[in-house]
Structure 1
């Protein structure tokens, strides 16, 4: 059984209150409620308008520092809210890593909305990606497993596909992967990306113009600079055929010049990234039904004719 990574530090309400009391005492009396306990971070809702986000593993500690430094720039460019930190916490009270107070963003996780009802958000998500996919400075962080050349992820993907019980369509998926590796590499400048864009990190809201609209994008711990195709994997991770066509058309039509060389193999690489992320979810989420179903959905989409 493949499970989520174990926590290196147990994140409890008492720990969060001690950190707030030591560094942000004006917030320490606000109600606290555990909102999420993911692979990398625990999130506690703080009152009605804020949340506290804390790494639960040492491997994620650097990601919070990355968010604290760079996410305010994303927030200035984004057409929808993103959780830019409003307070940057430090190691304290027996807790070894940096942590953040962030805005609490209202919305319904796209994982709780049927794929066909996600479709109206496709153009809005494309507009979000167009806005953040701008050339990054030389000092921008490089994520070693996201936005890099696809070939660097080949060993991991092929190892997962050796599990023919978990992947009964492994032969077709290996062919898909081989085709993605043949796509021309990203030839433009390194651009900013989200790095972990899937339905659990997208919030939707009801809209008078349709069943759902984009409300916010969350969890930027994997942000970095490189090939934006990693984010376009969301076309398979979140949408069915109708939504995927709408997202692809909107993204292709907007801002292609600033991304430099996007259309030259971009969607083929995005399809490869969808396989990278889907297999990571399927091979490591036996105790996380939401991620497991997201991976299954993406594989079904990838295998559609």
Structure 2
């Protein structure tokens, strides 16, 4: 069983029943499934709302934390994001909570050129700089977990990556496989110094939305909000931006130490590896190609 396989069965009929019974003001609106991530199935309701339903038990507490924390972050998020409006309760039909949000328009930023990515370098940097300034004490009081992925243990992360890479060997050109393998061999640090900031926690191309020009206009899926090392979120400077755009990003975000850059690059390779593994399983060619390109970008430049 893959780590993203569902352990809760979600049907369109069940979703309609839950929404209309708990939020009768939404009755009669068109409800349609628009996708799913590792943790949640996503439905669009009418033109103005989206709902997320946990499809894995591990996502339930993450959704609760998101519902508590996102309203507190309003003044710290500089890009559009889904604001929780409808707090669905567990019931006999579906024994866990669910959330409804404002709808954020856009498409996943896949297949973009360097100039298109450059459009978002500064705004992404400002977004993370402001988010990372949120008081961690307030986050803890609201129930934020702390480094729930144990990111500072680089040795353990590297071991996981070696295992994932082995499974991806049939799906990567030999040159790309060898490049990742050689990179992992060069990562000799075992653990890095703990840092604490408020994190989005799962920032990658499937959790961002772009406009018709390719500029990032929204950040979605905040289920991994936690207090941890900024290198987790800074991965986007490596996986989404090329070397030239990366320099612009750090000019806006501010300089970070070598440990943070090491972790950012490592996670910038790791997350796309997982996205690639999932895309291969479900035969999503577009996501697979973007995940491969993300790995290559993360390993480019200094």
TM-score, structure 1 length as denominator? 0.85
1:1-305 maps to which residues of 2 (within 5 A)? Answer: 5-111=4-110, 113-134=112-133, 135-137=135-137, 138-139=140-141, 140-145=144-149, 147-163=151-167, 164-167=169-172, 168=174, 169-182=176-189, 185-188=192-195, 190-206=196-212, 211-252=213-254, 262-286=256-280, 287=282, 288-304=284-300
Q: In the TM superposition, what is the alpha-carbon distance from 1:299 to its structure 2 partner?
A: 2.0
Q: In the TM superposition, what is the alpha-carbon distance from 1:52 to its structure 2 partner?
A: 1.1
Number of residue-to-residue matches in the alignment: 291
Paired with 2:185 and 2:200, the residues of 1 have a C-alpha distance of: 25
Paired with 1:83 and 1:201, the residues of 2 have a C-alpha distance of: 11
Kept after mapping to 1: 8 A contact 2:131/2:199: yes
Greater mean alpha carbon deviation, residues 81-90 or residues 148-157: 148-157
Superimposed CA distance per residue, residues 170-193 of structure 1 (whole angstroms, 9 cap, x where no aligned partner): 4542442354453872444x1111
Superimposed CA distance per residue, residues 242-295 of structure 1 (whole angstroms, 9 cap, x where no aligned partner): 322222322125xxxxxxxx4242112111111221222223321133432232
Kept after mapping to 1: 8 A contact 2:105/2:209: yes
For structure 2, the residue ranges without an aligned partner over 5 or more in a row are: none
Paired with 1:297 and 1:146, the residues of 2 have a C-alpha distance of: 26
Q: In the TM superposition, what is the alpha-carbon distance from 1:13 to its structure 2 partner?
A: 2.3
Kept after mapping to 2: 8 A contact 1:203/1:216: yes
Superimposed CA distance per residue, residues 184-219 of structure 1 (whole angstroms, 9 cap, x where no aligned partner): 72444x11111111112111225xxxx443311101
RMSD, matched Cα: 2.5
Greater mean alpha carbon deviation, residues 230-239 or residues 244-253: 244-253
Q: Could you tell me which residue of structure 2 aligns to residue 257 of structure 1?
A: none
Paired with 2:285 and 2:60, the residues of 1 have a C-alpha distance of: 25
Q: In the TM superposition, what is the alpha-carbon distance from 1:22 to its structure 2 partner?
A: 2.3
Kept after mapping to 1: 8 A contact 2:153/2:191: no
